[in-house]
Each structure stands twice: as C-alpha cells, then as structure tokens.
Amino acid sequence: MNKLLAALIASLFAVSSFAASHAGAAMPAASGAKAEAKAEAKAEKKAAKKKSTKKASTKKAAASEKKS
C-alpha cells in the first residue's frame, strides 16, 4: 500500500511539473495550425461575402425585371 501511495504521489508530481513547464510555451505545430485556421476563416469569409453580393445583384435584377 505504501508503494502504491508513493507511486501515485510521484506520478502526480511528474504530471504537474510537466504541465507547468509546457503551459506558456508556444508549440511550432500549434502556431502553424493557428495560422492555417486563420487563413481558412479568411477564405470562408471572402466566399460568404462573394455569395451575399451575388444574391444582392440577383435581387436587384429581379426587382428591375418586375418594374419593366
């Protein structure tokens, strides 16, 4: 029982020290993924804007046809 308790305390200490040492460090893969996600969001926003302007021009064309 003492060995089990000692192992649990040692592993808790090891995990907490590992987590504390890596909390603020920027990981290269994570920063690359962040830039990629930002570029993807920008592309989606651009596509949504293009789609909304296309809808607006379609509505204008339909309105002008109704007037004619």
Q: What tens-digit pLDDT sequence spans the chain (68 residues)?
A: 999 999 999 999 999 888 777 666 555 555 566 677 777 888 888 888 777 766 556 656 666 666 55
For residue 55, what pLDDT is reported? 58
For residue 61, what pLDDT is reported? 60
Q: How far apart are CA 51 and CA 1, in angstroms?
A: 67
For residue 47, what pLDDT is reported? 81
Distances (CA, A) of 40 to 3, 37, 43, 45, 52: 51, 5, 5, 9, 18
Query: How many H-runs (helices) and E-runs (strands) does the chain carry?
Result: 2, 0
For residue 20, what pLDDT is reported? 76
Q: How far apart are CA 25 and CA 30, in angstroms?
A: 10
Domain ranges of the chain: 24-68
Counted residue by residue, the chain has a size of 68
